[in-house]
Chains A and B, each alone.
Chain A
């Protein structure tokens, strides 16, 4: 092809110069105490550990390892607040605090995005555009419910449960804190929150926001620490409710410890979601949805679309288009605004991913990754696609929790449903088709708490979220999310 103007030159690719987000907005302290009774206090049991940035292994701060006596103090503080001002406060007054927290999260959104990306390793684009806005949205949403609980469908004057012990994971540290705190506070409970060992910092910035919002002391207490702190919290006799998001293995232990007590329990655990692409799907958008389903947040998403089920007649085309798309993903410094794939959160998680990927290779699946250079420091794993996967392979059954997609095929809608449901999990599923009736029929048959149609990994505070089977029970978000914190 020739034109009169440009004699068909060999054009060069458009390289993007580094565009790092500034860290200046964030002032981290060298060390943090525990947030109990509305103030940062020194621990009773002592012990500290360092939190590092997974993209650089840089030490960000020193945080406190809360022990059993610290858990006692936090629970006592939450109990005093529940028996005191917070428990007696009318819903319309509680809502003002929630609105205030939501607004402060928005005002300090850049700071929160930066701390989340540094501590977790996720791209700043995601913490800025997804985690932080959604966290604010959850507080706004539940702020609106606080004075309307009589009309929420739980009977007249539904009562709060009391003190909630909440243990959250490292994949969406701030967002999971918001998912836990906002409905608990809206319904009049008080909280003891335990952020994940590897990602405590955004919860500590949130503690500062709670102070700024002048939330009464003890309504929210934040204890940093490892799994033993979480175990002390959920087994503590002074709490009335346990809410846990994390692995199915830990969730099972928590369920055992709570069994036979008065405590209410909600669990949001693992997943092995099927993302089902029919031949009549909007293919370009389906490819985006596959990418967003499994490579969003490095695949550290409990509802990740880790199993691609694609109709055989289009499988070759879809995989080809997917590979071409993956070649454009930008892996690297999470603080760069153009980074799509950040770091793996910890060495432990990276080892788990590597072990499962090796199992996939040795079981005979075909492994593919786009050409990409991994940074030398920190923990990294390239976007990976397995084809020729059989439903019996470990990579088709076990949760990898990393940027690894297993591609399987199906021939009929019935087979798609059977394969999608053939898992011990049941958190989410995706359906891609231009045929509306098929979407409804599939949603009806899929045993998953969330079924996305022509989209994936879309979250909204108004929509309930939760699992079937070993993905847990209880719902978070929406009107349903209130029920987990009400004695109804």
Chain B
């Protein structure tokens, strides 16, 4: 199912989308989908179902892959380069963000071969601080926005929140979808908000947080993934990290399958960000295995796969030392942040 690269884009611009319902050979007109809630709901209902038992069994089977030696070291470096180093606390301060940015630029100052992380992720009011602390580096500044984490605000308020982040120079924006509207079946409303936020992002890249822990079923995860991609998401993201369960391996598998299918029918490649609860190198490598065996090499880079995490980075650094020296590093051997 190799789609032609550079094909139709699925944003609000006109374009035809081959039906991913697999059973139907028809093509679907995206603008008409967006304009009709009924059509949109039928489209989403036509997506192939996800069998929970089979999906979880597949994820469990992939998690038994044994990654050793050189391949483990390469996976660790790849994972480091994919980290969105995150602090999203009410207690965040300028000082905290500046320290985090130093860590993001040079995770292991004694070893320049350790790559920088992909981005630092903060609330909108701290984007300016992060931006200046990261000036001159390749590390992007990501900001949550749109009444993160609950998304319970009017679209106007969400857009104002977004405007703050973008105006302060955010390179990437992590929005949340309206889970209430989704669960009520008002999928057109969810899509409209994504389209509006995407339009207001300008050049900033948009990650759409599905909050899969609140969507509860894999069928919902698949449908929400398609909604986000139809709305123009550059990335789809599992979770805010504020709701349990956050990211799980089967959820990531379903989202990667959605991304794979969307790419096949539209030619547009969307990234996936897993966030929340990923703390160990072992966890991170399991996600990379799922990426590798579901969508393959094109997604094995920070432009298409990210880890949203805070404590993961230090475990990656400790395991990296273990791989290089044979000795386990203690928690005090790497900097606190």
Closest to B64 in A: A125
Asked if residues B55 and A14 are in contact (CB atoms below 8 Å), the reply is no
Residue ID in chain B nearest A279 by CB atoms? B23
- Give A290-324 as 1s and 0s: 1 = Cβ < 8 Å from B's Cβ atoms: 00000000000000000000000110010011001
* B303 adjacent to A314 (CB under 8 Å): no
Q: Looking at the complex, which one of B69, B172, B291, B303 makes contact with A17 (CB distance below 8 Å)?
A: B69
B198 to A: closest C-beta gap in Å = 14
Chain A residues with CB under 8 Å of B140's CB are 3-5
B300 near A13 (CB under 8 angstroms)?
Answer: yes
**Residue contact B297 to A12, C-beta cutoff 8 Å:** yes
Query: A8 on the interface (CB 8 Å rule)?
Result: yes
Cβ contact within 8 Å between A11 and B298: yes
Bound CA span A244–B298, Å: 50
Q: Which chain A residues numbered 265 to 301 have a C-beta less than 8 Å away from chain B? A: 279-285, 288-289
Q: Which of B50, B75, B257 contacts A14 (CB 8 A)?
A: B75
Of chain B, the residue at the smallest CB distance from A311 is B23
Q: What separation, in Å, do the CA atoms of A4 and B170 have in the docked complex?
A: 10
Mask: chain A, 4-36; 1 = CB below 8 Å from B; 0 = not: 111011011111111100000000000000000
Q: Does A157 contact B (CB under 8 A)?
A: no
Q: How far is the CA of A328 from the CA of B65 in the complex (A)?
A: 13
Given contacts A284-B257, A321-B1, A338-B66, contact A13 B301 (CB under 8 A): no
Q: Shortest beta-carbon distance, B60 to chain A, in Å?
A: 9
Contact of B118 with A6 in the complex, beta carbons under 8 Å: yes
B55 touches A285 (CB 8 A): yes
User: B111 near A: Cβ within 8 Å?
Assistant: no
Most buried by A among B22, B53, B118, B304: B22
* A96 touches B (CB below 8 Å): no
Across the interface, B64 reaches (CB within 8 A) one of A9, A282, A324, A337, namely A337
A432 to B72, CA, bound (A): 37
> Are the C-beta atoms of A1 and B55 separated by less than 8 Å?
no
From 56 to 70 in chain A, residues with beta carbon under 8 angstroms from any chain B beta carbon are none
* CB of B269 within 8 Å of the partner chain: yes
Let me know if B58 and A285 touch, CB within 8 A.
yes
Contact A14 B297 (CB under 8 A): yes
In the complex, the answer to whether A4 meets B68 with C-beta atoms within 8 Å is no
User: What is the minimal beta-carbon distance from A453 to any residue of chain B, in angstroms?
Assistant: 10
Report B276-303 CB contacts with A as 1/0, cut-off 8 Å. 0000000000001101110011111111
3 cross-chain pairs, A with B, having the tightest CB-CB distances, nearest first: A285-B54, A19-B66, A282-B51
The 13 listed contacts between A and B (C-beta, < 8 Å) are: A3-B302, A4-B171, A5-B140, A14-B291, A16-B65, A19-B66, A279-B23, A282-B55, A285-B51, A324-B1, A337-B64, A434-B51, A454-B51
Q: Which residues of A contact B (CB under 8 A)?
A: 1-6, 8-9, 11-19, 125, 129, 279-285, 288-289, 313-314, 317, 320-321, 324, 328, 337-338, 434, 454-455
Beyond A3-B205, A5-B118, A328-B293, list 4 extra A-B contacts (CB 8 Å): A4-B171, A14-B74, A129-B64, A285-B50
